[in-house]
Structure 1
Amino acid sequence: MKRAVFVRDKTNKHSIRALLAAYEKWFPEKEYYVLTPKDAFDFLEEDDLALFSFLTGSSTAYIDYVTKLKERLPKLNTICGGAHASARSEDMLKYFDAVCTGEGEESIKDIIEMAEQGRVEGIITGKKVLNLDDYRVFPRKMVSLGPIEIVRGCPSGCAYCQTPQLFRGRLRHRSIDFIVDEIKFALSRKGFADVRFIAPDASSYQFNKGINLEAIESLLYNVRNTIGTNGKLFYGTFPSELDPAGVSKELVDILVKYCDNKQIVLGLQSASHDMQKIMHRRSGLLETENAIELFLDKNFEIVVDLIFGLPYETEETYEETYKFIEKWKGKVTIHSHPFDPLPGSKWQYETPTEVPEKLVKAVRSLEGIGRVFGRVVKDKEKVCRI
């Protein structure tokens, strides 16, 4: 292997950043390259190692890309990882020389050592990272800042989601001291830090048979003191959301006290009690409406995630979601998602149900008042660009 080249685009920048930080831990003296797909196409040479990571939504684009790349450089060594590759490893071997399944921070060491001895080939089973504090959030050799992953895994087991299958077992959390040190590094590089967090459920930080309010407040208190007036602190909003089951008056008061965001994202997915049970959601309509009331009382803008076309939906279950939309029209914003059977999820082989026209019209009626974004029906012609 002459050079390690990481191919990064806007859809995989967080996962590539984690790999870069791990690469620097294992190989502090070695150089690496990070390029966009366009730049990498012309830069790569046959004795390089090209590393890719992608989600299901961009998998087709990356398959097309590496197919064309291999036409130009037949002997180029390519390896892919990420959520899609973990769930469809055998399929990906048709296009890539090697596939890494699961977590990559520890496996990157084995991959690079294999490449230096010859070629990386076949399926490499990723090793589970037991202590997230063993790996920095931000690489040091290049400026690559962004949201901080504070939780890996999820206390829920939602049937439509890849996370419960990808990160099995107990939740893993970064410590407050470690998080603060990474924020200090970000401040030293840019002088200003907008702090956001990555977690499947923002209320699950240090989750222990329930919400750990003390840990969440301690995290936010320490981060707030660290950034002072040199940054903003966001919690319970993009790129993470809150499970309504974790929302209480106490949590809302904590967010008001320490955070800068005035928008909160709540995951509901369906307003039907029956659908909540089928999906294995921890929360339902009652918890969601309670959370909405609590946040509205503090003048937050509420965004509610809904998935349309879920398996097992019926006329009756769709009617419950319709009533929810009508009840909260003008008070909350709907983020609509068409159901997409994700590889590796429990519902990976399920077929979407047809969304009633009445419900489609109800959602689209919110466009005029700026209270909806996203799609209700999957656009078959939509192509993810990398």
Structure 2
Amino acid sequence: MEEIGLVLRSVLKYAAWTVLVASVAAAGLAAGVYLSVANGGAVAVGGHSFRMPWSGPPPFGGRDTFTVLVLGLDEKARGNQHSPQRSDSIMLLQVDLKTPSVKGVSIPRDTLTTIPGREHQDKINAAYALGFAPLSIETVKALTGVSPDYYLVSDVGGFQKMVDLIGGVEIDVEKDMNYDDNWQNLHIHLRHGYRHLNGYQAMGYVRFRHDRLGDVARMQRQQKFLKAVVRRAFAMSNLPKLPEIVREARKAVVDTNMTTADLLYMAQRLKGLNDSQILLETLPGVPQNIHGVSYWVLDDEKAHEVISKVFGTADVPTAATVEVLNGTGRRGLARQVAQVLAESGFKVVRVANARDGVHDTSTVLFRPESQEGAMAIANLLGTSDVQSASDGRKKLPGDTDITVIVGSDYRQENAL
């Protein structure tokens, strides 16, 4: 009985991973979680069946919808104890326990963005190395306008073993993949076509990035792989492997602010999830080489559309409609301002780049009936350049009451 108790405590502690099938770092753990709740919350060990007790405060504070930031740590950095770890995989998920469904966006690790407290922009994956999960959360919030309710940091060291434990995955390999890196002991040799991949081959498939789109293509493969894991992880043939799956799961947990009750409840509610209930997008942009360093530079307007599609936007019918234009060379700044305005009750309908070059001064343009809102925005952003569009020389789009052009004089600390 003591051994059974140890297994049960392990299940309770690590059963969270079903809901994180949308994360590469957590993908291999889905089977262990599902099997622990496959029979209405009961676990079968050694011929005995045990039902999970629910007690204490309601999971997730009684909410059915919430957001989770999932970070998978850089495997290469783990080989050097003196090198700070960066987040290799970054996903922001929205979990709906009623539907059920999981939606989310992958954020390329090379995304150029502003990290709070840093003077210069950097790759978004540097946030974890500089301030661990708290700074990563603040950085993702500033970039997307979505504040994660929960976070989970995982180590992908057990990835290969976990895939082998669930019996491998079926993947339609989109092209021949060949790559050798003796330093990392990474050797990828996959043929085009529908293949059954074992753990080592699956690791190569999701890590391959030697094509035109680099990390973006790699994330698309990760998303494809995750759906294959969902299909395989829920196979009942994995039931006898539960103890071993749980032991491997223990190696991957690094940090999370979700409780055991939260995780078990989420797993139970999502146990029937299929790949049609998972929507994953990638924040759009273009690769750019800046001063010899490769970055992923977001397309502000398209990225805003993707974020709105996945997470929705606040709709305040009585609020003025606002477009925010970036009149500087600082990437992502318009989206930061849009977040400030949305949190203040304005309905942001568009985020884009200004077409008439760089603006030294931030400007607020408004229709006569929206003057009060324009003055409130000017106060929020710390600018005094407020202009009416009533003279006909300045035209606003038909769906816009106020246009905000963010100039080079804008500083985040000026925003109230």
TM norm. shorter chain > 0.5: no
TM bucket normalised to smaller? under 0.3
Q: Under a length normalisation based on structure 2, what TM-score does the superposition of the two structures give?
A: 0.25
Which structure carries more relative contact order (alpha carbon 8 Å, separation 6+)?
2
Structure number with larger C-alpha Rg: 2
Between Structure 1 and Structure 2, the one with more strand by share is 2
